[in-house]
Structure 1
Amino acid sequence: MDAMDLGARCGVLRPTELMPRPELLSPASTRSCSDRSLRSARSASADSFDFAPYDFKLWNLIIRPPRVVYDDSELGPTEFFAGGVRATRRDLKLRTRRALSLSCSYFTPSQGGREIQRFPVIIYLHGNSSSRLEACNLVGALISQHMSLFCFDAAGCGQSEGEYVSLGWHESDDLAAVIDCLRSFPNCGPIGLWGRSMGAATALMHADQNPNLGALCLDSSFANLRQLLEELAQSKSVPLPVPSWLVGPALALIRLRVKSLADFDIEDLVPLQHAKRSCAPAIFLHGREDDFVHPGHSQQLYEAYMGSKELMAVEGDHNSERSGRVVSHIIGFFGRCLRRLPLEPIPRPVLVWDPQFVAPSLDGVPLRVPHRLRQSTDLAKKDKVVIGSAARRADGPSLIPVRGKLVNREVIERPCGSMGRARVLGAVGGA
């Protein structure tokens, strides 16, 4: 038995069966054959293609952008003047219902006179690879108009706890806890939200749940996360653009990974749906040269928004600093919206400082209210209890800008309504 017969018995094809006769093909048939081969090759490669580089670039862009590292001193002094208005900065930590600690800063005009004034408060919400430092450029402009500024590092950003961001999904719940805590302060007036990029999406995701918001500024928000990812997948903004025929499979894999790591579904993140149910006055802002989130997203949101609205196209791209003219226009918008209903000032009680409360507030509103004075001034002196400004420590605030840190943090729990409880971990002034 020769080798050829042995191969036939074992089921091995003969050379003549392996090599069919060549056929003459026309150019048209050659092209159609090539097209079929290309499609089948793409189909086969889609099953065996290594998605890792594309998958990593996109999901990292969504939930784990670079974390900003900074020092508290970059937040500025704890006491300062802006436009002739004396103001203070109070740093605090707030624990959300997800048990994550958020690093916050509260810039507010100082109290004067015998009554506690309630100032309009702007909560600034930064982008996904930024921090509360982004809001510091607005401090002077807001304080000079007798408005307070509250800013915080979103979970997963800056000095706050958390491993991942969610582009507004979990951040909207954290914002609800921040607002509940802020409203417990006696100097808090009407609240407006100023968000940029992820922060703008967060504001929209929360706005339809909170009818008491006074106004919104929404700078460079996306309308639909799935739509944004499809655009970014083939954009030059991504270091490794995804071929068009791989976008669908890549996003399916990213969806699973984001669900497992960050506990949200990218298909559910659609600020456009929330815009249809929101009614607070709003400004939609977008840079004309923005190639990361196309200006068409703000156009969609503007058209769907139910409340009074304004659309501004400004110079710059996604990360450009907004001009002084634009900032002044937005602050004027907040001033008109938040001051329509004047608030009655709260009478300030005569207080005796608790000896254990060694960190008096720099703005005249203590985080923990000390006991009311029941004795006369003479009796208080006899018992070595000091009243009012005389109770301030030697290193307390003066009439000139100072830098310094307050010591002995305390844990104070404050109820946060339907969104659970938030814990304020002390009031510590940064250097």
Structure 2
Amino acid sequence: MSFINDYCKQIIRPPRRTYSTQLLGPKTRFIKNVPIIREDFEFTSRQLKLQASYFVQESVHHRCLIYLHCNASCRLEGLQYVDRLQAAGVNLCIFDFAGCGLSDGKYITMGTYESVDVKELMNYIECRFGKVDEFILWGRSMGAVTALMLSQDPRITTYIADSAFTQLRTVIEELGQQKFGCFSFMINGFMPFLRSKIINEAQFDIDQVSPLNCVAVQSNKKRFYFLAGKTDQLVHPRHSQILYENCKSYKRIELCDGNHNTTRQIETLDKISKFINLLQLDSPLNVDYAKKCSKYFQEAQQCLNSYRMQQQEQEENLKEYVKQLERKSVLKSYQQQSRDLSDLEKYLE
């Protein structure tokens, strides 16, 4: 039974990635002279305290993308998209799933309760930062599964699902076949014990984790972008292909170079950015967002003014430095000419 314990641990209790909040970077950053404020906060879901960060910018609309990380990762995974999304006019929210990073929780549930936590996060964002015009979910692996399991939520318009699986049981069976080879028939024997153990410890059923049953929603207002690595050995790209084929809303799929953990290429990220901006919002100014975030916008404007003053001061210092160099150069040239003239006079004497 020790084998089942180890297998169970890989699923519901992978290594927790801890980190220092200093790695989140500066509280204020600038993208093309537009100030972005990062607000760290804590929200509660299922009586667990979960840690999150929201990158706020002043905008007519309140578009919010929530990045959902892998099962053995944390919110730092989503930091790489801050500049790209802010340049597209989208606020980014990153957070640690329960049992991950700095959040409370003992187990992960491969999307089962994570989807509940995302709903609570959306409620919190609207309460604290103002009504959201459009929610977007971008998830990878377990995060992608979590996103797809929320396909019925009317507040969400766009789903970026990178390396999602169709059913958790299927992935477990496939990994078992890779491990046991010709002895893969053993999987059917230990599967009931593994399922029972996970139910007892983490309170979820692996047979109920099935994004495939969730993507069949048909809606003109929903968009799905499926993504997978061609050489992914952990979650075979056929899972994304099956999800794509069963999806009944507007959809796209891309099989890109790399495996399960490969950093996606710039070209792929550019396609995703364009996909996110397919929906043209024509709603009026979001007064609720502007009102609740006014303090962040004022702080951002002060930071921008300070930033511009620093730039101006640096430019003035640089100009003065250049002038001093020019003076020294002219003086040095004059002194050299004087020495040359003196030498010439001595020679003529």
TM-score range, shorter chain: 0.7 to 0.9
Q: Distance in 2 between matches of 1:251 and 1:275?
A: 26
Q: Which residue of 2 aligns with 1:310?
A: 252
1:52 is matched by which residue type in structure 2?
S
Q: 1:300 aligns with which of 224, 234, 242?
A: 242
1:312 is matched by which residue type in structure 2?
E
Native 8 Å contact 2:130 2:290 kept in 1: no
Q: Which residue of 1 aligns with 2:11?
A: 62
Corresponding position: 1:276 with 2:216: yes
Q: Which residue of 2 aligns with 1:95?
A: 44
> How big is each residue's C-alpha offset from its partner over 1:363-403, in whole Å with a ceiling of 9 and x where there is no partner?
449xxxxxxxxxxxxxxxxxxxxxxx9xx9xxx896339xx
> How big is each residue's C-alpha offset from its partner over 1:164-188, in whole Å with a ceiling of 9 and x where there is no partner?
0000000111111111111222274
Q: Which residue of 1 aligns with 2:56?
A: 108
Q: Which residue of 2 aligns with 1:196?
A: 140
Equivalent position SS for 1:206: coil
Q: Distance in 2 between matches of 1:69 and 1:313?
A: 31
Q: Distance in 2 between matches of 1:101 and 1:242?
A: 45
Native 8 Å contact 1:85 1:143 kept in 2: no
Native 8 Å contact 1:117 1:187 kept in 2: no
> How big is each residue's C-alpha offset from its partner over 1:177-213, in whole Å with a ceiling of 9 and x where there is no partner?
11111122227431111011001100111112x1231
Unaligned stretches of 5+ residues in structure 1:
1-50, 352-359, 366-388, 402-431
Native 8 Å contact 2:165 2:240 kept in 1: yes
Q: Which residue of 2 aligns with 1:243?
A: 183
After TM superposition, the runs of 4+ consecutive aligned structure 1 residues lying more than 6 A away are 347-351
> How big is each residue's C-alpha offset from its partner over 1:130-178, in whole Å with a ceiling of 9 and x where there is no partner?
1100000000111122211011100000000000000000011111111
Native 8 Å contact 1:204 1:274 kept in 2: yes
Q: Which residue of 1 aligns with 2:262?
A: 320
Structure 1 pair 400–71 and aligned structure 2 pair: CA distance change class (3 A): farther
Structure number having the greater helix percentage: 2
Q: Which residue of 1 aligns with 2:29?
A: 80
Aligned residues: 304
Corresponding position: 1:341 with 2:282: yes
Q: Distance in 1 between matches of 2:267 and 2:62?
A: 23
> How big is each residue's C-alpha offset from its partner over 1:70-99, in whole Å with a ceiling of 9 and x where there is no partner?
011111110011233211100000001x10
Q: Which residue of 2 aligns with 1:38?
A: none
Equivalent position SS for 1:285: strand
Equivalences for residues 343-422 of structure 1 within 5 A: 343-346=284-287, 361-364=295-298, 399-400=306-307
Q: Distance in 1 between matches of 2:223 and 2:81?
A: 20
Which is higher, the Rg of structure 1 or of structure 2? 1
Equivalent position SS for 2:139: strand
Native 8 Å contact 1:103 1:152 kept in 2: yes
Q: 2:149 aligns with which of 188, 205, 210?
A: 205
Structure 1 pair 159–242 and aligned structure 2 pair: CA distance change class (3 A): farther
Corresponding position: 1:230 with 2:173: yes
Corresponding position: 1:129 with 2:75: no
Q: Which residue of 2 aligns with 1:165?
A: 108
Q: CA RMSD in A?
A: 2.6
Structure of greater relative contact order (alpha carbons < 8 Å, 6+ residues apart): 1
Q: Distance in 2 between matches of 1:259 and 1:363?
A: 46
Native 8 Å contact 2:231 2:258 kept in 1: yes
> How big is each residue's C-alpha offset from its partner over 1:248-282, in whole Å with a ceiling of 9 and x where there is no partner?
12211111110011100111111100111263111
Native 8 Å contact 1:362 1:397 kept in 2: no
Native 8 Å contact 2:148 2:215 kept in 1: yes
Equivalent position SS for 2:76: helix
Native 8 Å contact 1:85 1:146 kept in 2: no
Equivalent position SS for 2:56: strand
Q: Which residue of 2 aligns with 1:52?
A: 2
Q: Distance in 1 between matches of 2:196 and 2:150?
A: 25
TM-score, structure 2 as length reference = 0.81
Q: Distance in 1 between matches of 2:36 and 2:257?
A: 32
Native 8 Å contact 1:235 1:241 kept in 2: yes
Unaligned stretches of 5+ residues in structure 2:
309-349
> How big is each residue's C-alpha offset from its partner over 1:201-259, in whole Å with a ceiling of 9 and x where there is no partner?
00111112x123121111000001111100011225xxx87931310122111111100
